[in-house]
A and B are shown apart, each in its own frame.
Chain A
Amino acid sequence: MDHYLLKPKGSKVLLLGNEAIARGALEAGICFAAAYPGTPSTEILEVLAEVADECGINVEWSVNEKTAFEAAYGAAISGVRSLTAMKHVGLNVASDILMSSAYSGVEDGFVVVSADDPSMHSSQNEQDNRWYGLISHIPVVEPSSPRDAYKLTKEAYKLSSKYKVPVILRSTTRISHTRMPIELEDEVFFERKCKGVFRKDYERWVLVPGNARKRKLELMKTWKTVIENEGREPFVSILNPGLKKAIVASGIAYSYVKEALDLMNALDKVTVLKVNLPVPLPVEPVKKVLEYADEVLVVEELDPVVELQLKSIAQTLGYKSRVIGKSVVPENYELSIETLYKPIADFLGSPAMDHWISIGTVKTDPPIPPRPPILCAGCPHRNTFYILRIAANKAGLKNPVFTGDIGCYTLGYQKPFETQSTSFEMGGSIGVAHGLSKSTDNPVIAVIGDSTFFHAGIPPALNVVYNDSNVAIVVLDNLTTAMTGHQPHPGTGVSATGKRTRRILPEKILEAIGYDVTVINPLRVKESVSIVTKAFENYRSGAKIAVVSRMRCALEALRLSRKKNIILPVYHVIEEKCTGCMACIKLTACPALILEPGEKKPRINPEICAGCGLCATICPYNAIEVKNKPSMNWETTWWD
């Protein structure tokens, strides 16, 4: 019982926003949680999985967000409190069931955590998922800090139970991934309701048009009630009511507004409306502000969701206050005290004082090079990309297009690999490859990760066979979901809580669909090149082929070697043999290979080298060799 998430009431713990949400949900009495990993949402389910057995709750990594949502929804319609969590784009995948769940509602609390990623720290786009509340007519709760997230998660469950509708809890990167000391208010150990009852009610659970029409009216009745009755703390709070100027701050924006006002010594000079229920925006508190304020500034991250609703309320009720928002507050990327200081100072007529005087940028010669994320030393994707390039060449594929997908391997878009020429959304590699193959003469090779294949790669793989296009599929099976921090998936045979479960192999699925599949071990580079060359030759003659490249993620392999005391090889460059041709650096871009300024020959940093040996295979002069004495069984860390 010493997991930090399970500390007793009254303890103070330093929790990540996501952990705070998980703790809040546990206190609220959930007994089921399902999610698919995605930054910045992942740690919610991760930490719930760690404590699942101790709390006696069901926690799973589902194969995608739609599946996770449906599972958690299933629990909630039988009266078991549940949670699902996903990154913003995950809600796109689950949006079909989201819309319907609003119509049928729930029997007990159901919270959908949407973790948005303004500034795209780790995403393909930024989107403001508060809109989903407006499309689906589902209330959206938006905390202003990790501490708020903890309290508001519990409030979201109350709201959901009260109205019997799902509630979206919208977090953002700076809430999900910021730690704060949190004082725990309730216990997590109590008799939870874990067994529900499904009460048949065809008018409610079967959304045929006749039933859906009735449910829509019910839904809108709830929606209006929330607008009228929920303009109260903790969802909406008014600070300094009755002033001529008002700032309306939704979610995280409130943290910045408060700090800016503090710096300007203006905390008491303006009415502040702290909004934690941006959708639907409750009317009463807005009226209380507009009654007095001539000028209103709406501050929110990304889109003008609160601003538009507030303007609509003001217009409808005939208030003459001037309302501004996105005309002065940035609408792209995340906000900060820095970007907000000036608009707020301008609004208040405060002097634009400089609180932060920088030492200025450090300009070096040559300049500091950019450092985009890269494949780790020993990353199996590096080997596979190298193999794919050589094999495509050997098999005579002219101008092959490697369509790509989402995961660590997306980094293969970079030189020298260039084996990811597209990357849109999960599963897109195979889907887009089909269209490209139908519309061009290029050989098209879809390159997709293992977790991504299970998530959304299977339907497009079916489509390739059914509608007969010329697409080859390569599944990069590193035995984990690496990008989001190593979660298990159906191909690992391990569940979220670490239990053995039936392992599902991508090659079996692909074979069943109709592909000729070969499995390679990319640690053995030469052998793999000849196998893949053969497969590509078959592809050229019209066969449906797929390759599964299986080698453990380097970070996991290193962890395993430490745990099992297995010594991995470490390579070094033999100076006398090295001619300084740079083939190793140019063809692998491995971070362990270092060329010091002014030097002519590379060296290998032994702290970073993971011992995959790709550079040694490539070196035309055999100048790279193992320098230590690896364990006999070292290969088992990479492939078992």
Chain B
Amino acid sequence: MKIGFYPGCSMKGGAREYQESVVALAKVFDIELVEIPDWNCCGATAAHNLNKELSLSLPARIMALAEKEGITDIVVPCAACYNRLSVTKHELAEDASLCSKVTGIIDLKYSGKTNILNIIQFIDKYITDKLEEKVVKPFNYNTACYYGCLLVRPHAILNFDRVEDPQSMDVLVKKSGGNAIDWAFKTECCGAGMSVSRTDTVARLSGDILKDASDRKAEVMVVACPMCHSNLDMRRPEINKYLDEKISMPVLYISQVLGLAVGLDAKTLGLNRHMTEVILPDKPVKNAEPAEVSKKVANPEKMEA
């Protein structure tokens, strides 16, 4: 089976390391990702603020191109692109006349049967089962999993994870040998597209996120979105100024965390490309505790009655 890969614009620019790490990780598990030929921009925030048909046509074209290649699953690592593709698929499925209009615009066959997988869904479908046996260098750091807004919302359409307290990335971190900490800002907004226009707002929002994680002794933050990454990573000077404190916690993509755990080296995973230097001191591999914790299942029946 061919698994499609939609990089979106960011992975060809600021987030090259995200693509590099996803591809490298897939390779470890003998998965080949096929970049969708002649793909276009998903429309991002701009299109759906301006023109509904355009905002649906752009993602629809991507899915139609994938169909043409006989691709049934498309991996969309960027949370924003994932959101746009999923919303489009949903809206076209709900409204037949809109669908025929849009297929008219893109002038391609579109069945709406392609699966849109975000990075975590991709990992869960193809990698998770084999992950633990491949871990050679447990990622034993206190890790704050940050999901942001777009990965889990709107729940009615995405139907992925719990909206207010998502767990899927925490599970992956635990399986990689890490300690996913309990913290408060998992789904708080990072400032997103205001990155350029209102750097002060981004500094405040992203700053509060990093501060809470750091107060709770997180050593590293994990994300699954290039936008979140750039705000949390690149805006560090503004953030540190806002917080009046230097936070040196690195921000990694989930694919990089898994990559490190299965033994890929820093360069292959593009860790050198981050603005905030990735310093992860070697720790003795004996931290079996987090895995224990995750195994312990509370008995929910007990509290009932």
Task: Decide whether A and B are members of one complex.
Answer: no
Using CB atoms and an 8 Å cutoff, list the residues of chain B in contact with chain A. Answer: none
Using CB atoms and an 8 Å cutoff, list the residues of chain A in contact with chain B. Answer: none
